């Protein structure tokens, strides 16, 4: 297998997955972006601005917390990477800050984004307020209803939240609308929220989230003397927190990488979002990846109790890594996630996001040895999910 750190190729492919499947109308946009990213990626001044904003504004590094309760329960060593302690409450801000700096360097003044649960929308609206950018966020009409507090936060931050009323009115359609807006307003900067979309987005988002695994390495070294854990567990919607948590471990073969998929009502229920388990190769939102689709190649609407995980695709990086056996994906149902959320809240006093609760629940189905050092990426906090938890 090709070393993942050396991917994607020039056209944005991770093996068979990725690429830029975009209409000619968007070609100049993605080319301009790829060029700008290539230039800034290794620019030390850009990098130090990004890092100092993460430190001083976002609150990084986030703690690597040894959970004694979980460690005792599972009879091994379990750390939680506390992305929930970031400003705005999730890992999404790492990417929003990185991309807004990129947008600024390109001379952009208007930002457009899609959001599902509203976490990426809030992170983007926050970054836009900070950097004096105009902000437009597309959000499915149904998600606007079920994630009302985040809509209010975005609006208070000065963003314009536009309901996506086409198709199934959720994240997939919000993404369609954001792409259409970008076609109609090529001067806008499209700030995508996960490791999905046409090249170079998956690479950009993975790059800006890779700070998570970089910190894990450093923190673990301090705490245990070893810089690599035996297992890293993260939930996957599009896959940005997982890409970040896995990134620096991809080429360390002794680190097991576990992507947790939302199985909704169960894998066989027809109501799930377990894309990497049930999906087949196809093209959506500008890249070749694994997709939930029907026999005619129409994209189907996934289900998860978590609005951040019900996306019918998965980042091409994950499609490749799972397909080639490097990353293992395991399913967790709505019910299992709810139980895990309650358990962490009661035992550790940490209310996790529903998305992150999927990663926690996976501890019950992964085989663990007493010598294991496991890092669970706690991608976000659960304030937004309280009404679901209290039901």
Partner 1 sequence: MNQFKKASKQLSIFVTAGYPKLNSLNDQLNLLEANGVDFVEVGIPFSDPMADGPTIQETSDLALKNGMNLELLFEQLNERTSTLPLVLMGYLNPVLSYGIDRFLESCNRVGVRSVILPDMSLEIYERFYRDQFEKYEVFPSFLITPTSSTQRIQRISKVCKNSFVYLVSSNATTGGKSTFNADQAKTYQSIRENCGETPLFIGFGIDSKEKVEYVQEVSHGAIIGSAYLKALGLNKEKDFLKSIR
Ligand X SMILES: Cc1ncc(COP(=O)(O)O)c(C=O)c1O
238 touches ligand X by CB under 6 A: yes
Binding mask 165-204 for partner 1 (x = CB under 8 A): -xx----xx--x--xx--xx-x------------------
Active-site annotation holds for 230:
no
Sheet (strand 160-164) strand order: 160-164, 134-140, 110-115, 189-190
> Do residues 227 and 239 lie in contact, with contact meaning Cβ atoms separated by under 8 Å?
no
Q: Please work out the total of residues on this chain that contact partner 1, with binding judged by CB under 8 A.
A: 33
Which one of ligand X, partner 1, none is in contact with 116 (Cβ closer than 5 to 8 A by kind)?
ligand X
Complex with partner 1: residue 74 or 185, whichever CB lies closer: 185
Complex with ligand X: residue 92 or 108, whichever CB lies closer: 92
Complex with ligand X: residue 143 or 372, whichever CB lies closer: 143
Which one of ligand X, partner 1, none is in contact with 284 (Cβ closer than 5 to 8 A by kind)?
partner 1
Minimum distance from residue 180 beta carbon to partner 1 (Å):
5
> Do residues 390 and 96 lie in contact, with contact meaning Cβ atoms separated by under 8 Å?
no
Minimum distance from residue 111 beta carbon to ligand X (Å):
17
Active-site annotation holds for 114:
yes
Complex with ligand X: residue 18 or 239, whichever CB lies closer: 239
Minimum distance from residue 240 beta carbon to ligand X (Å):
3
119 touches ligand X by CB under 6 A: yes
Exposed, middle or buried: residue 125 (CB in 10 Å: 0-12, 13-18, 19+)?
A: buried
Minimum distance from residue 308 beta carbon to partner 1 (Å):
20
Pairing of strands 280-284, 287-291: antiparallel
Of 58, 59, 53, 38, the closest CA to residue 101 belongs to 53
Cα dihedral sign, 193-198-204-206: positive
Complex with ligand X: residue 321 or 356, whichever CB lies closer: 356
Could you tell me which residues are beta bridge partners of residue 374?
A: 78, 231
Complex with partner 1: residue 22 or 195, whichever CB lies closer: 22
32 touches partner 1 by CB under 8 A: no
> What are the C-alpha distances in Å from 318 to residues 4, 243, 260, 325, 366?
10, 8, 11, 10, 19
Complex with partner 1: residue 28 or 270, whichever CB lies closer: 28
Taking CB under 8 A as the binding criterion, the range among 17-25, 56-64, 122-130, 332-340 that sits at the site for partner 1 is: 17-25
Distance CA 130, CA 136 (A): 15
Candidates 92, 108, 169, 384; catalytic one: 92
> Which residue's Cβ has the minimum distance to ligand X?
380
| Binders in 255-284 for partner 1, by CB under 8 A | 281-284
CA 348 to chain centre: 24
Of 128, 124, 118, 177, the closest CA to residue 150 belongs to 118
Residues 6+ apart with CB under 8 A from 204: 33, 37, 98, 99, 102
The H-assigned helical ranges of 225-282 are: 240-246, 275-278
7 touches partner 1 by CB under 8 A: no
Token digits for 208? 């800006």
Residue 200 has, within 13 A of its CA and on its CB side, a CA count of 20
Minimum distance from residue 138 beta carbon to partner 1 (Å):
12
Among 236, 259, 288, 338, binds ligand X (CB under 6 A): 236
Active-site annotation holds for 379:
yes
Roughly what angle, to the nearest 10 degrees, separates helices 201-209 and 92-105?
A: 120
Among 3, 6, 24, 390, binds partner 1 (CB under 8 A): 24
Candidates 81, 108, 114, 276; catalytic one: 114
Which one of ligand X, partner 1, none is in contact with 270 (Cβ closer than 5 to 8 A by kind)?
none
Pairing of strands 373-378, 160-164: unpaired
If DSSP states are collapsed to H, E and C, what string results for 259-272? EEEEEECCCCCCCC
Binding mask 331-360 for ligand X (x = CB under 6 A): ----------------------x-xx----
Distance CA 96, CA 78 (A): 29
285 touches partner 1 by CB under 8 A: yes
Catalytic residues: 92, 114, 379
Residues that bind ligand X (CB under 6 A): 90, 116-117, 119-120, 194, 235-242, 308-309, 353, 355-356, 379-380
């Amino acid at each position: 297998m090709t070393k993942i750190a050396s991917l994607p190729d020039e056209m944005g492919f991770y093996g068979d997955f990725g690429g830029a499947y975009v209409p000619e109308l968007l070609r100049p946009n993605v080319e301009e972006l790829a060029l700008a990213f290539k230039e800034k990626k290794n620019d030390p001044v850009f990098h130090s601005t990004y890092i100092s904003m993460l430190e001083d504004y976002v609150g990084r590094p986030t703690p690597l917390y040894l959970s004694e309760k979980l460690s005792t329960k599972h009879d091994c060593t379990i750390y939680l990477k506390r992305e929930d302690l970031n400003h705005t409450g999730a890992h999404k801000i790492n990417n929003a800050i990185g991309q807004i700096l990129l947008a600024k360097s390109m001379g952009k003044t208007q930002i457009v984004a899609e959001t599902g649960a509203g976490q990426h929308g809030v992170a983007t609206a926050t970054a836009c307020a900070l950097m004096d950018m105009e902000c437009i966020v597309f959000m499915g009409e149904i998600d606007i209803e079920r994630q009302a507090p985040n809509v209010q936060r975005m609006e208070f931050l000065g963003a314009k939240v536009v309901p996506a009323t086409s198709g199934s009115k959720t994240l997939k359609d919000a993404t369609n609308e954001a792409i259409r807006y970008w076609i109609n307003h090529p001067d806008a900067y499209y700030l995508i929220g996960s490791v999905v979309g046409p090249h170079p987005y998956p690479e950009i988002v993975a790059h800006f989230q890779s700070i998570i695994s970089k910190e894990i390495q450093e923190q673990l070294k301090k705490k245990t003397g070893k810089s690599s854990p035996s297992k890293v567990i993260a939930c996957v919607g599009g896959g940005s927190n997982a890409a970040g948590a896995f990134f620096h471990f991809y080429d360390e073969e002794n680190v097991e990488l576990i992507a947790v998929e939302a199985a909704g009502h169960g894998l066989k229920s027809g109501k799930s979002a377990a894309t990497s388990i049930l999906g087949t190769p196809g093209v959506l939102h500008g890249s070749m990846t694994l997709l939930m689709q029907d026999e005619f190649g129409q994209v189907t609407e996934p289900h998860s109790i978590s609005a951040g995980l019900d996306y019918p695709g998965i980042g091409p990086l994950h499609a490749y890594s799972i397909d080639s056996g490097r990353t293992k994906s395991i399913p967790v149902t709505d019910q299992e996630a709810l139980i895990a959320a309650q358990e962490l809240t009661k035992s550790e006093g940490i209310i996790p996001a529903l998305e992150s609760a999927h990663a926690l629940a996976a501890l019950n189905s992964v085989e663990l040895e007493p010598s294991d050092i496991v890092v669970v990426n706690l991608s976000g906090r659960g304030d937004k999910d309280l009404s679901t938890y209290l039901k």
